[in-house]
Structure formats: C-alpha cells, structure tokens
Structure 1
Amino acid sequence: MGTPLDSRAEQTLEVVDRLYEEYPDPTISLHFSNRLELLVAVMLSAQCTDERVNKTTETLFEKYRTAEDYANADEAELSEDIGSITYHNSKAGYLKETGRILVEEHGGEVPDTMSDLTDLQGVGRKTANVVLQHGHDLTEGIVVDTHVQRLTRRLGITEEESPEKIEQDLLGLVPEDDWKEFTHLLISHGRAVCDARNPDCDECVLEDICPSSKLDSEVDLASGEAW
C-alpha cells in the first residue's frame, strides 16, 4: 500500500504535479460549439457517458439550434431524439423547461452566474460549474463528477462522500489556478488507469503515495502473508 504524504495539502499538490506531467493538456471531452450546446451536452451527460452524449448531439444540435427550439419542442419528440441517453424522458422535460426559462428570463442566452444556472431545470452545481468554466471562462468552484469522487477518496485527499462536501474540501486544498484543470486531470487518470472496478496500480504514477494501492497487499497474498 502506498504511503500518503504528511498532510492532505501536500498530498493534493503532489497529485496535481504528477498528473500534469502525465496528462499535459487536460480538457473537456464533450463536443460543443457554443454555450447553449455546452449546457445541453452537460445536462445530457448526467449518469451517461460522454461518448454516448457526443454521438447523440451530432444530430441533436442540427435540429435544435436555439433556446426557442427547445422551448417550442414537442416533449415526446425531443425525448425520442435523445432516446439513447440515460433518463431521456426526464431530460427532455428539463431541456424544454430550460429553453423556456432562457427565452423568458435571459433573452435566449445562457446566463453567467451560479445562481441563475442552478435555477434552470436539471442543472445542479456540477453542471453550472462546467458551463461557467468552459462557456464563460469563469471558475467559481471545482467540478466533482464520479471520477473526482472516486479518486480523491482513494488518494486520501478527502473522506467526504457527497459531491458538495468533497468540493468544499477541495477548494481549500487545490490551488485556485488549478481548479478548472483538476477535474480533467482526475477524469483522464480515472479513465486511463484508476478504473472504478479494476484500477491498474502497476501503471499508476501515484502508486507510491496512494493509500489505496493494491500492490503491497497483492505481494503479501502471493507470498502467503495475507494481512
């Protein structure tokens, strides 16, 4: 089992430094060309893979180009248009209502404040953070998705379980200049190495400082010295 550094702050900084070396150009994997497309893509990505979202939005964004298009959409038809997306019925309703709010309260534009974004249907703090960071170039927090939840706990950076509490922990540990990239560093590492079910500790650049590393326990088991 790896040995974490003396403090969570030291641990966090070392994780950030090593992951920057491993993934020098971390970025969002959703495809979009404007703020509305970004908002829609992130709303669709909840409990769904980015790959599936990108495949769906290839045609969706050709059909629905403005907030008015979503507001005026037939909800059943919109649900069918995003039929491969998880919870597509609920998300169709969210998109239609969000389109209405954007038209009636924001002139059809995607707002640039956390409060206005989280007032939209189907938009929580995680989605709002993504839209602010990648749509408005404003960083108010850290996006905590399932990869960030899993890796920060595995690495001993936080013991919290809810995304909201994890984010509050991270805001005091991750340098503010790295808030935006931190999420994408962990997503990249989570996809490439630190899988949810079968993390590849042999190939992990963080193995020696990771309290959840499997390597020592596997060696002990192989030698008959289980603990």
Structure 2
Amino acid sequence: MNGRIHPHYGTFLPTRHEYVDLVAQAPLSNPELAFDVGTGTGLLAAVLVNRGVKKVVGTDIHQRAVDCANENFARLGLQEAAEAQLTSMFPDGRAPLIVCNPPWLPGSATTTLDAAVYDPGSTMLLQFLDGLPHHLTDDGEGWLVLSDLAEVLGLRSRQLLLDAIDQAGLEVIDRLDTTPRHQRATDRSDPLHAARSREVTSLWRLRTKRPGRLPPV
C-alpha cells in the first residue's frame, strides 16, 4: 500500500502493526464486499482494498473518525473502493467479510482516545458478535482481531469470549496468532512487562453455525 495513514486530532493512531499483518495475510475467499466495523483512521479498510476487495464500507460512531478515514481514502486514491459512514456498528445489508478490531481492554474510557483502547464491559466486542450473524452473507466470514492481554491481566476470561461466540450463533473456523513486536513487549521496566511478554494477538475467523438459515437483518 503506497502512502501513509494520517490520524485527525482525537482519532487514535495505530502504533502496533502485528494485527494489521494478520488482516493482510488471512485467507480471503470473497473479495466483492467487506465491512470494517469501528474503522477509526480507515487503516484496515485500506489494507482490504489493497488486497483486492472491490468495496469496503467502514463505520464509526465518531464523526471525526469518519472524516479522517474518508480523507485517508482520498489521499491514497481509494475513494472509489472505500468509504466510511457515521453509524453504530454495522452498515445496512450483508457482506461476505466483516472485520472488527474492538478495543482490547474491558475498562473505562475517560477520553475519546481511550475509547480506542478500553471497551467498558466488553460492550463493543459483544455487540459485534451478537450482530454478526445478521449481517454476514450465507458463506460469509467475520474476522475478529483481538489481543488476549485482557485475559493475561485477568480482566476477561477466554471462556467468556468462547461462550459469547457460541451464544451469538457463531463458530470458529480458524484462528491466526501473532506475538507483539512493539517496544513495550521487551521493556522490563514497564509495569506490565510480565503480561505484555505473554500477550498473543489473534484473528478469529468466524461464521454462522448453520449456513443457509441466517437470521433477519
């Protein structure tokens, strides 16, 4: 991908890239359309277009993020293939690929920037899983990009995540894992070094349990 992603004031700038690599490498079976839920700067949407997805619709609840993403798409020459919309969670309709990189820690967000890192009560995570079957096509996949740092810190259990996937009517068809490469992972002076050194970031490939019997949009 040529060019750079630029954040607007108040829009979170991704500083870690291992999760971007997961989206760039995961098997892509249908390049017709994708949704990027919580698009932020539009980084993952741009990666998907670069991979050959013909149309990507990103969503965000913050107007500054929507404006930021659309300006990034225009600057990168992707405006015909990617657009961002102001909406909560999913755009209208169904797509064969829906991607979401929700905030990784289920804590309280005190600022707009914190909202990109903290998800009180794992609300966005659970809303994404619950809504996914209603917006995937029959053969579609949902890609949930999530660090297990919350699990390592004891803030959320793996079983809670697995139960939420199951209760939403979804099943896991694959999981791609990577370890962090950012500086803090090896910084022993960091108070969270013990947890960060054990962290794994995963791309969970999800689908509805019973293809052909999708719930209504």
Structure possessing the higher radius of gyration over alpha carbons: 1
TM norm. shorter chain > 0.5: no
TM norm structure 1? 0.27
Greater fraction helix: 1
Which structure has more RCO (C-alpha within 8 Å, separation ≥ 6)? 1
Whichever structure has more strand as a proportion of its residues is 2
